[in-house]
Chains A and B, each alone.
Chain A
Amino acid sequence: MADISYREIAHNGLWKNNPALVQLLGLCPLLAVTGSVVNALGLGLATMLVLTASNTAISMIRNHVSEAVKIPAFVMIIASFTTCTELLMQAFTYELYTILGIFIPLIVTNCIILGRAEAFACKNKVAASALDGFMMGSGFGLVLLLIGTIREILGNGTLFANMHLLFGPMAEHWTLHLFGEGYGFLIAVLPPGAFLVAGMLIALKNIIDKRIETRRAAKQAPVTSGSKRVRTTGAIS
């Protein structure tokens, strides 16, 4: 476990073991706040920050807490980082904070975070854990961003609306109207739209994975032709 390469950590977080598309963790905020790019980006960044910080801290203390009090200690660390993030968002992006509302404090209960603490940070060195937190957070954030982009385009016909909530006054004019004023496609903005888009993305990822696999199998085919061995590859995690 200790010898996992940085490359592999990145690949795991961003693609192979993506928290949103493969592990299906943290679906509640994923579906609730992805109505627009700015909301998705705000929550994605906040989650990534908490995940990286908590993974780092937990890795640092991994040899100093006993098995019995491990979980309470982890939860305390995660909760305090979440509250810090909440305060910082209130201070610097107050309006975005009011839009995201309850989903910022709820980062504490996002299973990805305690999951990575248990599965990775408490068994690995600090640098690797920090990278794992960052990559898992990025994987989650990118999926949020993708769903947010698709739903904003389909639902409101805009892209990058209200970005000034995150980037200040210079972003006031970033909004792109793709289908003209007054366009609206209700279901994409409502919760069912989030399920539909998330489902499509998961399907798309599976299609791509299968393509890659068949291509690889095709390349190996001449070598292994004739053998009827059962395939045992593919990670279960």
Chain B
Amino acid sequence: MAKLGKSIGFNSVVLGLFALITAAVLASTYLGTKDRIAAAQREVAKRALLEIVPLDRHTNDLLLDTVPIPANYWHTLGIDDDGGEVNIARQGDEPVAVIIPAVAPDGYNGDINLIIGINIDGSLAGVRVVSHHETPGLGDKIDLKKSNWIVGFNGKSLTNPAPELWKVKKDKGAFDQFTGATITPRAVVQQVYKTLKYYNEDRARLLKAARQRPTIHHQASEENDHG
């Protein structure tokens, strides 16, 4: 009995030691890569935002200039779990466009993550797919890398085309689907329309909140990068 107790004790100590060593290895790797990972994530997020509102249209730091989205709109935008923030693009201190995150929950293979840029006047500045699981070769044409279908949203608004035409052509709407894939474009069109409606409802509050915040300029963020 004593022998068993001894071996249990010894083995526990050995395992504990292993846990300590591996934890130390992990902690040091984490600390060593933390800043680089954050920078890489910022870089990717920024690149997507810049595609929608290019540098010549704004002067502030898009990534840091944000206004939170009220929780009662999360469901409309499909961001039920995590909520989200609207990025504000400004020329000087004046907002020129907003970029809203949204998720189309009814893609062929689940969620399609989008970012949707809307000019202050309510017309679309651009839509981009951030990530999706649609079928390669069919549904993945929503990705700008595969086809420029998504560019077709540029300049559209709640009234152009008329609300009853915010559908794919197969459903008697104004938007093209792709051969072999209707579900994917249908999901994207619907979510873009919902997001436009959200902006229309929340616009006054968004712009007021944006104007109350101090503008964050590019230079400030670059100093942060060095620090």
User: A-side interface residues toward B, CB under 8 Å?
Assistant: 35, 64-66, 68-69, 72-73, 76-77, 79-80, 83-84, 87-88, 90-92, 94-95, 98, 155, 184, 186, 189-190
Interface set, chain B 1-31, CB cutoff 8 A to A? 7, 10-11, 14-15, 18-19, 22, 25-26, 29-30
Assess the B37–A90 pair: CB atoms within 8 A.
yes
Known contacts: A88-B29, A90-B33. The answer to whether A66 contacts B11 by CB under 8 A is yes
Interface on chain B toward A: helix, strand, loop, or mixed SS?
helix
Assess the B22–A80 pair: CB atoms within 8 A.
yes
Assess the A76–B22 pair: CB atoms within 8 A.
yes
Assess the A189–B137 pair: CB atoms within 8 A.
yes
Assess the A76–B19 pair: CB atoms within 8 A.
yes
Assess the A66–B7 pair: CB atoms within 8 A.
yes
Assess the B40–A90 pair: CB atoms within 8 A.
yes
- Inter-chain CA distance A184–B14, complex, in Å, is 55
- Inter-chain CA distance A60–B56, complex, in Å, is 58
User: In the complex, how many angstroms separate the beta carbon of B107 from the nearest chain A beta carbon?
Assistant: 16
User: B-side interface residues toward A, CB under 8 Å?
Assistant: 7, 10-11, 14-15, 18-19, 22, 25-26, 29-30, 33, 36-37, 40-41, 43-44, 131, 135-138
Contact of B14 among A35, A64, A91 (CB under 8 A): A64
Assess the B18–A73 pair: CB atoms within 8 A.
yes
Assess the B136–A189 pair: CB atoms within 8 A.
yes
- Inter-chain CA distance A69–B37, complex, in Å, is 35
Known contacts: A66-B7, A66-B10. The answer to whether A87 contacts B44 by CB under 8 A is no
User: In the complex, how many angstroms separate the beta carbon of B216 from the nearest chain A beta carbon?
Assistant: 24
Known contacts: A83-B26, A186-B137, A189-B136. The answer to whether A92 contacts B36 by CB under 8 A is yes
Assess the B11–A68 pair: CB atoms within 8 A.
yes
Assess the A87–B7 pair: CB atoms within 8 A.
no
User: In the complex, how many angstroms separate the beta carbon of B16 from the nearest chain A beta carbon?
Assistant: 10
Residues of B close to A155: CB separation below 8 A: 136-137
Residues of B close to A79: CB separation below 8 A: 22
Q: List 24 A-B contacts (CB under 8 A).
A: A64-B14, A65-B14, A66-B7, A66-B10, A69-B14, A72-B18, A73-B14, A76-B15, A77-B22, A80-B22, A87-B33, A87-B37, A88-B33, A91-B33, A91-B40, A94-B37, A94-B43, A95-B44, A98-B44, A155-B136, A186-B136, A186-B138, A190-B135, A190-B137
User: In the complex, how many angstroms separate the beta carbon of B92 from the nearest chain A beta carbon?
Assistant: 33
Leading 6 A-B pairs by shortest Cβ distance: A94-B40, A80-B22, A91-B36, A91-B33, A186-B137, A84-B29
- The closest CB in chain B to the CB of A87 belongs to B33
Residues of B close to A64: CB separation below 8 A: 14
User: In the complex, how many angstroms separate the beta carbon of A187 from the nearest chain B beta carbon?
Assistant: 9
User: In the complex, how many angstroms separate the beta carbon of A177 from the nearest chain B beta carbon?
Assistant: 14
Residues of A close to B136: CB separation below 8 A: 35, 155, 186, 189-190
User: In the complex, how many angstroms separate the beta carbon of B112 from the nearest chain A beta carbon?
Assistant: 15
- Inter-chain CA distance A73–B21, complex, in Å, is 11
- Inter-chain CA distance A64–B22, complex, in Å, is 16
Assess the B18–A68 pair: CB atoms within 8 A.
no
User: In the complex, how many angstroms separate the beta carbon of B123 from the nearest chain A beta carbon?
Assistant: 30
- Inter-chain CA distance A91–B7, complex, in Å, is 42
- Inter-chain CA distance A72–B43, complex, in Å, is 39
